[in-house]
């Protein structure tokens, strides 16, 4: 029996001492023949023959993946030393392997220490000469944890008849100019929305939410599992259900696919987005999890650079919550950026506080918790070159939406797996990001009706727009602070360019 099959079994050593097997998984990233960064540049460059001609996973395998013979030799070598092949990316650029910790230690000449289910490698791994394709190994340390980006305001226990608390779905659609899109016959039909998340959730809660707000039929919802059976956690489930509910509320005709990673760690994050991109149905994807940029391990950054650049190459918009601690991304009283919101291949969604006047118009200002600031990891992308000091490195957020818990919206969730679902008023930038995701699903449906491809990476389009165009497509948020940064005219590190003017933004993106 191989070492990875010895989970919870006791192995007798020659000394008579017994030890408990420690099963692990790790994801190996293989050398790219053509980098994901180059492919991403190709689809963004109007002078390239691949402009807006997005790559499929199969094309990436052909262009960037290893030669078939070399790849098969690596698979055979991994199996011969005792590893199980748990998953293979469609691109042949990522392989997830499973084995006992002693096998990882022996093959990769490292040392791994366990504390409960958590483990850390104390010696940098060495790639054997017999496995030259391997560029990096993710999963030897699983101590990094991502946190959900939502904030609870109030719970209305077990009362489905009161209606959703906070700003109603109808008012959200009205004040952001989304209702005219429905009048044009748009609903998200034919569009696939991705929710990238961790742990399990209750699908019944999501379906019931749609029914309670009058969506009949509502979006279809399914689960995509890829690294084992995800356990249930009430906090994680609340985030997942929030993301699916409000994105579906905006795009009721869409199909929502929830990608649930059973592992919340660096390797789990890498596996999560590899699974989303291998699937390749979703051209808009929500990610409402994050951490402090300062906590990102040096080895994890290039791994995720590859995956996020691949998303751009495949024409996938990854929208991420910008964080809920304002300019203090670490939550420790310092000025730090959020991970991965400050990544230059993602669209970071900040937060606002919204108040509705008696005439139905809105007053909107920057929410104090809206994550925003300047990355310490990434240079200023070319499409942000017009920003002025101190924003001389990648700065975020890019756009914004309602996120203040006090002016938040209602979701239908259960505080625990055994409890009954109930209305909960929440906010946070994870309330903002999925509603932008739903909106972009409407945009992509409209583009499809005109025979156009999905819009692709949003940021270069909105940053390169003229001042006159941005005045038409955004509500510029000029008041509010998130700590050291203040909202103001034009782009700012609290709300980015601001919130969408739904119909005008649609017309702008249809022309691209």
Neighbours of 174 (CB within 10 A): 18
For the chain, the structural domain boundaries read 3-31+66-138, 147-510
- The conformation of residue 298, written as its DSSP 8-state character, comes to T
Q: How far is CA 316 from the centre of its chain?
A: 11
State residue 156's pLDDT score.
65
Quick one: DSSP state of residue 189?
T
Residue the block writes with tokens 């961790």: 198
Assign residue 496 a region: left if phi > 0, alpha if psi is -120 to 50, beta otherwise? left
Q: Which residues are catalytic?
A: 239, 243, 430
Q: Say what the pLDDT of residue 315 is.
A: 98
Low-confidence ranges of the chain (pLDDT < 70): 1-20, 153-162, 416-418
Cβ–Cβ < 8 Å for 176, 421: no
380 DSSP 8-state letter? P
Q: What is the reported pLDDT for 150?
A: 83
In sequence order, the 6+-apart residues with CB closer than 8 A to the CB of 119 are: 22, 24, 101, 112, 113, 140, 141, 142, 143
Do 89 and 95 form a contact (C-beta atoms < 8 A)? Answer: yes
| Longest CA–CA separation in the chain, Å | 82
Q: Quickly name the fold that domain 3-31+66-138 has.
A: Alpha-Beta Plaits (3.30.70)
- 10 Å Cβ neighbour count for 82? 17
Between CA 242 and CA 206 the distance in angstroms is 8
Instruction: Write down the number of H helices and E strands in the chain.
Output: 14, 26
- Helices (H), ranges, 188-295: 203-212, 234-250, 266-279
Residues 6+ apart with CB under 8 A from 273: 196, 304, 307, 308, 311, 318
Specify the pLDDT at position 20.
59
Gyration radius of the chain over CA positions: 23
Tell me the CATH number for domain 147-510: 3.40.50.200
Look up residue 500 and give its two tokens. 């969408």
Q: Residues with Cβ < 8 Å from 122, sequence gap 6 or more?
A: 110, 111, 112, 113
DSSP letter for 421, please.
P
Structural tokens at position 74: 């690596």
Q: What is the pLDDT of residue 5?
A: 41
């Amino acid at each position: 029996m191989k070492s990875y099959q010895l989970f919870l079994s006791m192995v007798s050593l020659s000394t008579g001492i017994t030890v408990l097997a420690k099963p692990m998984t790790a994801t190996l990233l293989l050398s790219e023949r053509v980098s994901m960064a180059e492919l991403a540049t190709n689809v963004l460059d109007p002078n390239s023959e691949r402009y807006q001609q997005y790559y499929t996973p199969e094309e990436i395998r052909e262009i960037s993946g290893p030669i078939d013979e070399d790849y098969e030799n690596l698979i055979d070598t991994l199996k011969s030393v005792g590893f199980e092949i748990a998953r293979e990316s469609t691109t042949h650029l990522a392989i997830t392997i499973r084995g006992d910790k002693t096998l990882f230690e022996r093959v990769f000449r490292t040392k791994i220490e366990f504390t409960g289910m958590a483990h850390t490698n104390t010696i940098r791994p060495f790639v054997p000469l017999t496995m030259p394709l391997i560029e990096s190994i993710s999963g030897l340390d699983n101590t990094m944890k991502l946190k959900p980006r939502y904030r609870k305001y109030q719970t209305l226990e077990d009362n489905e008849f009161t209606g959703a608390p906070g700003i109603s779905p109808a008012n959200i659609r009205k004040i952001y100019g989304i209702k005219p899109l429905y009048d044009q016959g748009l609903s998200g039909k034919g569009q696939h929305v991705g929710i990238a998340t961790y742990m399990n959730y209750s699908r019944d809660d999501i379906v019931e939410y749609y029914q309670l707000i009058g969506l009949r039929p509502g979006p279809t919802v399914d689960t995509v599992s890829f690294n084992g059976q995800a356990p249930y956690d009430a906090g994680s489930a609340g985030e997942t259900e929030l993301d699916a509910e409000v994105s579906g509320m905006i795009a009721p005709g869409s199909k929502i696919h929830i990608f649930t990673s059973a592992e919340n760690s660096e390797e789990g994050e890498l596996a999560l987005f590899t699974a989303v991109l291998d699937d390749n149905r979703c051209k808009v994807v929500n990610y409402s999890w994050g951490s402090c940029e300062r906590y990102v391990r040096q080895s994890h950054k290039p791994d995720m650079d590859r995956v996020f650049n691949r998303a751009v190459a495949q024409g996938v918009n990854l929208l991420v919550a910008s964080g809920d601690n304002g300019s203090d991304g670490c939550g420790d009283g310092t000025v730090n950026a959020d991970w991965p919101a400050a990544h230059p291949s993602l669209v970071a969604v900040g937060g606002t506080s919204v108040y509705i006047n008696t005439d139905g118009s809105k007053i909107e200002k920057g929410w104090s918790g809206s994550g925003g600031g300047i990355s310490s990891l990434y240079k200023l992308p070319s499409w942000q070159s017009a920003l002025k000091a101190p924003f001389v490195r990648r700065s975020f957020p890019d756009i914004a939406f309602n996120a203040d818990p006090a002016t938040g919206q209602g979701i239908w969730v259960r505080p625990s797996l055994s409890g009954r679902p109930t209305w909960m008023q929440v906010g946070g930038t994870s309330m903002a990001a999925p509603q932008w995701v739903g909106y972009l699903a409407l945009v992509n449906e409209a583009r499809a009706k005109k025979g156009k491809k999905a819009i692709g990476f949003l940021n270069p389009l909105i940053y390169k727009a003229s001042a006159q165009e941005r005045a038409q497509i955004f509500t510029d948020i000029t008041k509010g602070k998130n700590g050291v940064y203040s909202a103001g005219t034009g782009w700012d590190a609290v709300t980015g360019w601001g919130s969408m003017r739904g119909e005008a933004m649609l017309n702008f993106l249809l022309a691209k």
